[in-house]
Amino acid sequence: MSQSTTAPKAEQIATNQFDAAADLLGLPSSMRQRLYTPFREITVQVPLLMDNGDVQVLLGHRVQHNGARGPTKGGIRYHPTVDLHEVRGLATLMTWKTALLDLPFGGAKGGVSVDPRGLSKLELERLTRKFTERVALALGPYRDIPAPDMGTNAQTMAWMLDEYSQKRGYSPAVVTGKPVSLGGSLGREEATGRGVMIAMREAALDRGLPWKGATAAIQGFGNVGSHLAQSLVAEGVRVIAVTDAVGGVHNANGLDIAALLAHASTHRSVAGFKEADALTNEQLWLVPCDFMVPAALGSVITREDNASTLQCRMLVEAANAPTTPIADKILNERGIIVLPDFLANAGGVVVSYFEWTQNLQQMRWEIEQVYSGLERKMVTAYRDVSTLARERDVPLRTAAYAIALQRVADAEELRGN
Ligand code: NAD
């Protein structure tokens, strides 16, 4: 099932280790084909009326990769790099993620190729409503349930909910990651970052790495990176470097994350923070630390740029698809542990599942229930993966794949043809 070497990176990365895991399980080729091929792909034209009266014609996509285990689930991304290949790769990852965490969902992803930073709030609302209208036929609380991703947030989900509900009646369970006042779950905002911290902590204890007093460096200070940084500091881990799209900062004694958050909210970047040295995104990868955490874009850890020069003991994939397959191999050879994306960053979809459950039951969970449920899910998933990795002497990614593939294959088999 390997992609050709000319296939775009997000797709290659999302299927890295697919063959190794399928071999480990002895899956027949017809099942491999069923698990590999996307179920449904939709591309839509999204005309966007700009505030100045011009109309920009954008392209949007929604890929539903596999729904054997339940309604498909996955975020909506607004970013200039969005195309069908990237969305397909990310949808595939969602299938493995929901299966690995044993959630009753399949995998999907969507997005529009656009730079949201250049749009006004009204333009963003019109864009979201038009995109929703054009993919609405394929959505639904028991069909396909979007959530935020890069460039989208709780407000985007509120507009999607409203657009969908206008046609089909009030349907809060059609999207997750909503504002709390509109049926969102307590704890969803910080869930991915908090979940990354839980997976890191389990992996550190399991693999003999330091924890309290350990050092971490993070690329990205958005939803995932900023909440991860706060969770790490609460655990006594020192966050010594942070970068974002504009620049970065470094302080070997540990950054004051509360002060950095305040700086970033005023200046829209961590760059220029006074109590640290300036750091570029290229320099970030050379920072010696226990945990290096890409939490922004995909394909940032590559053979050409940094796989041979990273100076960390564990690479924590908080971003989706940050490591190319060849870089992954180099890291394995160098003995750097890789905590794979569809395990490390699964906290968001876990709490999205809690949100969906609360919407369907018209109940509200207390924050303690959300946090303890998240803790249990992340710890169980890490331990399942680690146990299999040791038993079969394979990297964590291959073991995580094997567990996920087996679960989806079982569901496919049981549902029949
Ligand atoms: P976000 O839009 O909130 O933040 C993105 C961050 O990345 C920002 O700090 C931005 O400045 C930075 N960034 C963008 N371009 C960059 C560049 N060229 N160099 C360095 N930094 C850059 O996005 P997010 O929700 O935090 O998502 C980050 C990653 O985590 C993505 O890969 C996403 O798919 C993944 N993820 C997010 C969630 C979630 O719940 N939000 C869940 C699972 C996985």
Q: Whose CA is nearest to atom 31 of ligand 1?
A: 319
Set 9, 73, 97, 109: catalytic member: 109
Q: Whose CA is nearest to atom 27 of ligand 1?
A: 150
Q: What is the mean pLDDT of each run of 10 residues along the chain (417 residues)?
A: 46 79 93 94 98 98 98 97 94 96 98 97 98 98 96 96 96 97 97 98 98 98 97 98 98 98 97 96 98 95 97 97 95 98 97 98 97 98 98 96 97 94
Does pTM top 0.85 for this prediction?
yes
Determine the residue of 150, 269, 350 to mutate for testing ligand 1's pocket, defined as the one with the most ligand atoms within 8 A of the Cβ atom: 150
- What is the rounded CA–CA span in Å between residue 137 and residue 3? 31
Q: What is the number of the ligand 1 atom nearest to the C-alpha of 77?
A: 34
- CB of residue 224 inside a 6 A radius of ligand 1: yes
The reported pLDDT for the residue numbered 16 is 74
- What is the rounded CA–CA span in Å between residue 25 and residue 47? 46
- What is the rounded CA–CA span in Å between residue 351 and residue 371? 9
Cα end-to-end distance, the chain, whole Å: 21
Contact 74, 107 (CB under 8 A): yes
The reported pLDDT for the residue numbered 10 is 72
What is the Å distance from ligand 1's center to 66 Cα? Answer: 24
Task: Mention every residue, 6+ apart, whose C-beta is less than 8 A from residue 298.
Answer: 9, 10, 13, 86, 319, 320, 321, 322
DSSP per position, 30-61: HHHHHHHS-SEEEEEEEEEE-TTS-EEEEEEE
What is the Å distance from ligand 1's center to 296 Cα? Answer: 4
Contact 204, 314 (CB under 8 A): yes
The reported pLDDT for the residue numbered 52 is 98
The dihedral sign for the CA sequence 49, 73, 401, 320? positive
**Is 167 tagged catalytic?**
no
The reported pLDDT for the residue numbered 284 is 98
Determine the residue of 185, 224, 350, 355 to mutate for testing ligand 1's pocket, defined as the one with the most ligand atoms within 8 A of the Cβ atom: 224
The reported pLDDT for the residue numbered 9 is 66
- CB of residue 223 inside a 6 A radius of ligand 1: yes
Q: Whose CA is nearest to atom 36 of ligand 1?
A: 319
The reported pLDDT for the residue numbered 4 is 36
- What is the rounded CA–CA span in Å between residue 83 and residue 396? 29
